[in-house]
Structure 1
């Protein structure tokens, strides 16, 4: 309760704001968005926890303060406004006015329509980053294997130089075929790949200069190493947000309700869940849980890329992730009983 107390308080305040802003309907939709965000973000919390446990208490605090501002204000408010502004060639203030106009999202020129029209580029960027993230995990040496055959196959493929980049570029070329603007989707996807390589490479360089690196000594990251991990964490968190932000417009086109439901409540609970996993050492106790999360991330990346052509509901992506994580949890419990 100590870890989740802040999230509960923020939830009460956010629901109260939603009620005074849009009445019972606004309160109801905010609650739906919050439940969806929390229930579908378990894989995000697991990946975040593995990175966060490498940071000291100061940087964990930065994750809960600066990080939450980036997640709430940056990804759930400013990011959609920028996408709409760039697509419609209007400034952010005009984009905000367009958003608050609450026009029919299916009509050309409305906020929801413009944002939905930009979905292929957003999906290409986020899908590539998440695909690179999941492949990187399975290409590395692991003490345990959960799904033996596919994980051993991926590990074998990972021995080939630049296999991660090659597979991702091929997937991007296939996904971009037939898109409304293939060149824009490919460009966005290349940016996603470059973002992963840059942030991941920066993390490796910084970690080599961390005290205790290469000695087997468990040392929490500080300074530049912690900063690189924090940047890596924020980019990962942002990539998980893309489909949720776009998908929210299927429920409501009100940016304030989306901000309250997905951002304020959802992001706070995901961060509390991340801290809980770190505090309890859950990932070390449940040996297959991280594997399940990365299989869920790979599935999410595939669904995001497929959504460039076919609309896929959040229920499909969420249930797939939940099943994979649930099975990995069950497998971990059985493994612990056996050993």
Structure 2
């Protein structure tokens, strides 16, 4: 199974490294490899969250995620999206933005000798708007999970009070709106405050619209009501069997429900990719190397990890993994929102996700072993 799932990723990785070597020699190969590792380390929590959504999709839409979704991730988010930001915010024609990207100023300067800004400078100046959009999208995702009524909790001392708070209607939107106002009022520079407010509102609207439509069409499908949850979530803590997998949904999302789940996954991937794309410019500003490293290596490996988690039933075997991933999402949302004014090192961003997921995995292993000892027959 491992070869079948990761085989294509390995082949594409070797091809991307070869292309980087032909493009820029050993320097290009090294930069491409570093960017691939960066993307995978930053996006493991993305893979876990993707897996929770992918479990609810039919096999057809899962294949769409692995084919059309890859093209969107590689060419759309890692190549065309940065170019689009530059030509929109910089008032440039698309061809001019591409020429600017491929011909940086000499000696790595921020501006050309005539005073015009470089491709990297224009993109970095647009970071506050990008961060506000992605941060609010991810914040709502985090809040909707943590404030939901679920019996299984990981960090119970804070998750149980959040669950009780979630009984208030529309509280997630209220909290997100308050956070956006605070960020705009106290962190955003005066000249970007209005832009950050608009971008954050667009992030909230996008999440509410895409998530709402996917939920609506799932409910309309015959045989499907609410999205399925794991056995551990529907039973009392301590009663689930160790190593159990999530039951498959009675009816996997197809048709319009599958399409909106697919669209939800792509917007989610876009929100996760913002920090990787911006962080890549600390390593190189070459869009070709960025697309090869982040897209052809990182994004495709993340999708293979997602499929592996689904096929192996990992989310059911390790009960707290989904909780850890959502805490990592909450941390990333905060980092993105704070970064509208304060630069946060990309290493910190990547390590936070690794720490939360690693801790959740260790807690799951400990809980499974404790149950095994409790249920083991006495000899």
TM-score with structure 1 setting the length: 0.97
Is there any run of 5+ residues in structure 1 with no aligned partner, and where? none
State the 1:137 CA deviation.
0.6
Q: How does 1:300-339 map to 2 (within 5 A)?
A: 300-339=332-371
* More off after superposition, 214-223 vs 293-302: 214-223
**Residue 351 of structure 2: SS of its match in structure 1?**
helix
The whole-number CA distance in structure 2 between the counterparts of 1:91 and 1:174 is: 36
Larger radius of gyration: 2
Tell me if the contact between 2:110 and 2:117 (Cα under 8 Å) persists in the aligned partners.
no
2:124 to 99, 116, 125: 116
1:133 to 124, 130, 141: 141
1:247-294: per-residue Cα shift (whole Å, max 9, x none)? 111111000000000011100000000000000000011110000000
Q: Residue in 1 aligned with 2:34?
A: 32
Deviation at 1:176, TM superposition (A): 2.1
Written as runs of structure 1 = structure 2, the 5 A alignment for 1:200-239 is 200-214=211-225, 218-239=250-271
User: What runs of 5+ residues in structure 2 fail to find an aligned partner?
Assistant: 229-248, 372-379
Corresponding residue for residue 147 of structure 1 = 155
Equivalent residue number for residue 238 of structure 2: none
- Match for residue 291 of structure 1 among 295, 315, 323: 323
Q: Give the whole-Å Cα distance in 2 for the aligned partners of 1:117 and 1:175.
A: 18
Give runs of ≥4 in structure 1 deviating > 4 Å.
none
CA contact (8 A) 2:44 2:302 kept: yes
Task: Give the one of 95, 105, 110 matched to 1:106.
Answer: 110
How far did 1:153 drift? 1.7
Match of 1:49 among 43, 48, 51: 51
Q: Deviations over 1:134-183 (max 9, x none)?
A: 10011112231000011112112211121111111111122223324110
Aligned to 2:11, which of 9, 12, 18?
A: 9
Secondary structure of 1:3's aligned partner: helix
Question: Partner of 1:181: helix, strand, or coil?
Answer: helix
In structure 1, distance between residues paired with 2:199 and 2:328? 23
Cα RMSD between the aligned structures? 1.3
Partner of 1:62: 64
Determine the C-alpha separation between the residues in 2 that align with 1:278 and 1:161: 32
- The range that moved more, 209-218 or 266-275, is 209-218
Q: How many residues are aligned here?
A: 339
Question: Separation in 1 of the partners of 2:198 and 2:301?
Answer: 33
Q: TM-score, normalised by structure 2?
A: 0.87
Q: What is the CA distance between 1:87 and its match in structure 2?
A: 0.9
SS at match of 1:253: coil
Report deviation, 1:105: 5.7
